[in-house]
Amino acid sequence: MQLVFASNNKNKIKEIQLLVPSTIQILSLDDIGCTEDIAETADTIEGNAMLKANYVTEKYGYDCFADDSGLEVEALNGEPGVFSARYAGEPKNDENNIAKLLTNLKDVKNKKANFKTVICLNSNGKQHLFTGIINGEIIEERIGNNGFGYDPIFVADGYQKTFAELSLEEKSNISHRGIAVKQLITFLQKQFR
Ligand code: IMP
């Protein structure tokens, strides 16, 4: 069967293709001729994942899954959340986003935060949501060069290193995205063995 991953990130597509049962062929947005930007206009991470998956299923008729992620900071009522990519405005810039977050947390004691990924799967006329969460805290200075986004200022609970100090493999083992993907794969393995 064919399953669209609502993404054009070649690395993400390759990674997922290796993990799903071999009876499933993963297609990218390019593969189905979807070249338009799907507007991420929902006000929650779940909402954006659903919006992207529904767009593909409704407009192109494919079973599909889409993901959306963000960083939620407790003392900031869950900000930047769904606005994580563009927290400091357009065009999106990781450095500026980190600077804005550190400024907003300057005199705040509670540095608890979590990364969250939601994957929305539309399959056989049904919708399924898979959520991955990793708890941790924001530190006051940037450490590490790996990864992207807020990785240099996020330390997962039980760890001494930031996400930007972990290898991709180490991070994937514990990350919000890794957790959500594992749930998706387990579901697909049960359904399409
Ligand atoms: P996306 O939905 O995966 O594109 O994530 C949206 C935004 O959330 C990214 O642009 C980052 O700012 C932030 N983010 C999501 N996942 C991570 C992560 O694993 N590390 C650091 N930042 C992340």
Identify the band that residue 59 occupies on the pLDDT scale cut at 50, 70 and 90.
very high
Instruction: Evaluate: CB of 134 within 6 angstroms of ligand 1.
Output: no
Give pLDDT, residue 60.
98
Please say if the pLDDT value at position 193 is more than 80: no
H or E segment to which residue 133 belongs: strand 126-138
For residue 193, how far is its CA from the centre of ligand 1 (angstroms)?
31
Task: State in Å: Cα 150 to ligand 1 middle.
Answer: 7
Residue (of 84, 114, 78) closest to 100 by Cα position: 84
What pLDDT does residue 86 have? 96
Of 135, 181, 139, which is closest to residue 162 (Cα–Cα)? 139
**What is the residue with the minimal CA distance to atom 1 of ligand 1?**
69
Evaluate: CB of 148 within 6 angstroms of ligand 1: yes
Average pLDDT of the chain is: 96
Mean pLDDT for 66-75 is: 98
Contact 96, 84 (CB under 8 A): no
Question: Residue 151: CB within 6 Å of ligand 1?
Answer: yes
| pLDDT 10s digits, 8-55 | 999 889 989 998 999 999 999 999 999 999 999 999 999 999 999 999
68 included as an active-site residue:
yes
Q: Ligand 1, from 67, 68, 84: best to mutate by most atoms within 8 Å of Cβ?
A: 84
Encode pLDDT of 111-140 as tens digits: 999 999 999 999 999 999 999 999 999 999
* Catalytic-labelled residue, pool 30, 43, 63, 68: 68
* Structure tokens given for 25: 């062929």
- The values of phi and psi at residue 50, to 5°, are -65, -40
Q: Which among 104, 176, 119, 184 has a CA at the least distance from the CA of 147?
A: 176
- Mean pLDDT, rounded, for 136-148: 97
Work out whether strand 64-73 and strand 112-123 pair parallel, antiparallel, or are unpaired.
Answer: antiparallel
Query: Which contacts (CB < 8 Å, 24+ apart) does range 88-96 have?
Result: 94/148, 94/149, 94/150
* β-pair partners for 4: 27, 64
Decide: 147 in ligand 1 pocket, CB within 6 A: yes
For residue 64, the tally of other CB atoms under 10 A from its CB is 26
